[in-house]
């Protein structure tokens, strides 16, 4: 293993072609409580992210200009963009998933299942057919730190799917300890879901699991795709070639489509999530504890459609 200047660990020579050896990790903004939920809006050249315990969402431009986008944010966590370019967000406070319409009004997409409140939606992704998939661990109701302490009503910590036609909410995965980040492969035949249960139980493996997406939107399988060897997997993104760029305690870990660890980008704070963005879509925008960092890579998001 060779360490490049400053912030790169090359575990597989393929990674050398994915990073710019002379490019530095840059801190774009800092001073937050816990950053999460990065999402890039190409048309506006703006990144939004959550500062969860501060109960606010921030708006950041690539010159480092950072302003409040929404406060209170109902303790927003994960965010994504749907195929129509609308913001879709998870909220611990209202235990809901919402969509912000183009006119600024907010539509609740899900806040209960089987007549019982959701736990605390954590992260979300929208398939090209409009189906919304989101994870529902209990982090936001464990205490009053990043939501409101409450007993879970759901029997499981599910991954849910919201049907694009009728809005019906169905559990598609129910055997996670704490499901967290999730993303589709470029062809949307695979769904990857992070298991972050080791946050409270060291017996739970820090893994990303892979599922086969069926024609009706349900999923099967669930084998281990990769293991995070430092900390746990929270949010992650998939690039156009099917590689996974995942959060970890020591930075961002990049995995080949076969699960091989290619390399790491070391970040001085614990990473929670990341997205691709910037003028040409080839910058990793990284939410890490109190800060947001940026670094150019030779990869682009599979979802920046
Ligand atoms: Mg998360």
Sign of the four-CA dihedral 107, 278, 208, 302 = positive
Residues, Cβ < 5 Å to ion ligand 1: 122-123, 180, 234-235
CA of 137 to the centre of ligand 1 (A): 9
- Res. 3: pLDDT tops 60: no
CA of 11 to the centre of ligand 1 (A): 26
Instruction: Identify which of 9, 37, 29, 28 has the alpha carbon closest to the alpha carbon of residue 98.
Output: 37
Position 2 scores a pLDDT of 44
Mean pLDDT of 103-107: 97
Per-residue confidence at 303, pLDDT binned at 50, 70, 90? confident
Mean pLDDT of 76-92: 98
Position 109 scores a pLDDT of 98
Rounded-to-integer distance, Cα 238 and Cα 254, Å: 10
CA of 2 to the centre of ligand 1 (A): 30
Position 6 scores a pLDDT of 66
The total domain count for the chain is 1
Residue 305 lies in a domain: no
Rounded-to-integer distance, Cα 220 and Cα 281, Å: 32
CA of 247 to the centre of ligand 1 (A): 9
At 16, is the secondary structure helix, strand, or coil? Answer: helix
CA of 271 to the centre of ligand 1 (A): 10
Residue 169 lies in a domain: yes
- Res. 258: pLDDT tops 80: yes
Residues facing 291 on adjacent strands = 30, 288
Mean pLDDT of 11-28: 94
Rounded-to-integer distance, Cα 77 and Cα 84, Å: 21
User: Residue 250: CB partners within 8 Å, gap ≥ 6?
Assistant: 230, 231, 264, 266, 267
CA of 96 to the centre of ligand 1 (A): 15
What CATH number should be reported for the domain holding residue 116? Answer: 2.120.10.30
HSE of 89, CA atoms in CB hemisphere, 13 A: 28
Rounded-to-integer distance, Cα 53 and Cα 140, Å: 10
pLDDT higher at 187 or 24: 187
Percentage of the chain modeled with pLDDT above 90: 95
Rounded-to-integer distance, Cα 220 and Cα 214, Å: 7
Residue 128 lies in a domain: yes
CA of 22 to the centre of ligand 1 (A): 30
User: Residue 196: CB partners within 8 Å, gap ≥ 6?
Assistant: 137, 178, 179, 180, 206, 232, 233, 234
CA of 155 to the centre of ligand 1 (A): 20
CA of 37 to the centre of ligand 1 (A): 7
Residue 274 lies in a domain: yes
Residue 219 lies in a domain: yes
Per-residue confidence at 259, pLDDT binned at 50, 70, 90? very high
Per-residue confidence at 302, pLDDT binned at 50, 70, 90? confident
Residue 304 lies in a domain: no
Mean pLDDT of 242-259: 98
- Res. 241: pLDDT tops 80: yes
Position 1 scores a pLDDT of 46
Residue 262 lies in a domain: yes
- Res. 177: pLDDT tops 80: yes
CA of 160 to the centre of ligand 1 (A): 15
Rounded-to-integer distance, Cα 176 and Cα 169, Å: 18
Mean pLDDT of 203-230: 98
pTM of this structure: 0.97
CA of 152 to the centre of ligand 1 (A): 18
């Amino acid at each position: 293993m060779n360490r490049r200047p400053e912030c790169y660990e090359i575990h597989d020579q393929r990674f050398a072609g994915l990073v710019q050896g002379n490019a530095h990790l840059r801190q774009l903004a800092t001073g937050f409580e816990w950053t999460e939920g990065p999402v890039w809006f190409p048309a506006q050249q703006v990144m939004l992210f959550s500062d969860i315990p501060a109960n606010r969402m921030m708006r950041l431009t690539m010159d480092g200009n950072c302003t409040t986008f929404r406060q209170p944010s109902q303790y927003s966590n994960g965010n994504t963009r749907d195929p129509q370019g609308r913001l879709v967000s998870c909220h611990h406070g209202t235990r809901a998933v919402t969509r912000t319409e183009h006119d600024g009004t907010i539509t609740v997409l899900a806040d209960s299942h089987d007549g019982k409140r959701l736990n605390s939606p954590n992260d979300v992704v929208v398939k090209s057919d409009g189906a919304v998939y989101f994870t529902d661990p209990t982090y936001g109701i464990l205490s009053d730190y990043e939501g409101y302490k409450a007993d879970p009503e759901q029997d499981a910590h599910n991954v849910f799917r919201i049907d694009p036609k009728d809005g019906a909410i169905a559990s598609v995965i129910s055997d996670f300890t704490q499901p967290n980040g999730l993303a589709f492969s470029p062809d949307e035949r695979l769904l990857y879901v992070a298991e972050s249960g080791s946050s409270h139980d060291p017996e739970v493996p820090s893994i990303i699991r892979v599922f086969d997406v069926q024609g009706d939107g349900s999923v099967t399988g669930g084998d281990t795709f990769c293991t995070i060897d430092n900390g746990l997997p929270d949010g992650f993104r998939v690039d156009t070639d099917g590689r996974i760029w995942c959060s970890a305690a020591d930075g961002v870990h990049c995995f080949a489509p076969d699960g091989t660890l290619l390399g790491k980008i070391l970040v001085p704070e614990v990473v929670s999530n990341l997205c691709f963005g910037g003028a040409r879509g080839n910058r990793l925008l990284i939410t890490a504890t109190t800060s947001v960092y940026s670094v150019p890579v030779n990869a682009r998001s599979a979802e920046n459609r």
